[in-house]
Amino acid sequence: MKTLIIDAEKCSGCRACETYCSLKHDGECNPAKGRIHVIKWEQEAIFVPINCLRCEEPACEMVCPKGATYRNYMTGAMEVDPHRCIGCLSCVFACPFGATFVDLDNGKVLKCDLCDGDPTCAKVCPTGAIVCEEISKEAYLKLIQNADRIPVLVKQALGRNQ
C-alpha cells in the first residue's frame, strides 16, 4: 500500500496538483474543487500544499453523525459515501489540518481518495514536493520530518521567526 508524502519546502506553487485533481474527479479544471489545496505566499516563495493525512484516529470519521466517512482498506484513504453524507460539514470543521474541503456549489465534501491508490497529483508534481511511496519506516520518518517543516515555513512566511 502506498501513501502520499508532501514536502512543502519543495513546492513551487504551480497549482498543478489542485487543477489535475479537479479534472480527474469532476471533469473540469477548477482548483477550488481540488482535494488538495496549496496555501501560497508568492512574495516569499513559500507554498504549503494541504492534503488529507489519513490519520490513525481520524477526527472526520469520529464526528460524522451518519457514519458516512470511512476508511478504504484497499488504499488507506478516508472516503465519504455521498449517499450517506447529509452535508453537515462536521468533518470539514473537525479536521485539525484543514484538509477536508467542501464544494461551494453543492455542499459536497471533497476528500482525497488517493485516486484509488494511483494519485494523479504525484504524477504531475514537477518539483518532487508530492510523491507517492510504499508505506515503510522510511516513508513514516519523511512524513514526520515534512510535518515539522510546515510550522517553520508558515512562521517564515508571516515574518514571525525573526
Contact residues for other proteins, defined by CB under 8 A: 10, 12-16, 19-20, 22-24, 26-33, 39-40, 42-45, 104-105, 120, 123-124, 126-127
Distances (CA, A) of 92 to 13, 15, 59, 85, 106: 23, 22, 10, 12, 14
Residue in the block written with cell 484543514: 98
Q: How far is the CB of 2 from other proteins (least distance, A)?
A: 18
Report the alpha-carbon distance of residue 133 to residue 129 in Å, rounded. 12
Coil, strand or helix at 35: coil
The answer to whether residues 31 and 16 touch, using CB atoms and an 8 Å cutoff, is no
List helix spans (H) across 79-119: 90-94
Q: How far is the CB of 144 from other proteins (least distance, A)?
A: 23
Q: Is 69 exposed, middle or buried (0-12, 13-18, 19+ CB in 10 A)?
A: buried
Q: How far is the CB of 106 from other proteins (least distance, A)?
A: 12
Q: How far is the CB of 126 from other proteins (least distance, A)?
A: 3
**Between 14 and 55, whose beta carbon lies closer to other proteins?**
14
**Between 33 and 54, whose beta carbon lies closer to other proteins?**
33
**Between 19 and 69, whose beta carbon lies closer to other proteins?**
19
**Between 71 and 108, whose beta carbon lies closer to other proteins?**
108
**Between 64 and 121, whose beta carbon lies closer to other proteins?**
121
The set of cell numbers assigned to 156 is: 517564515
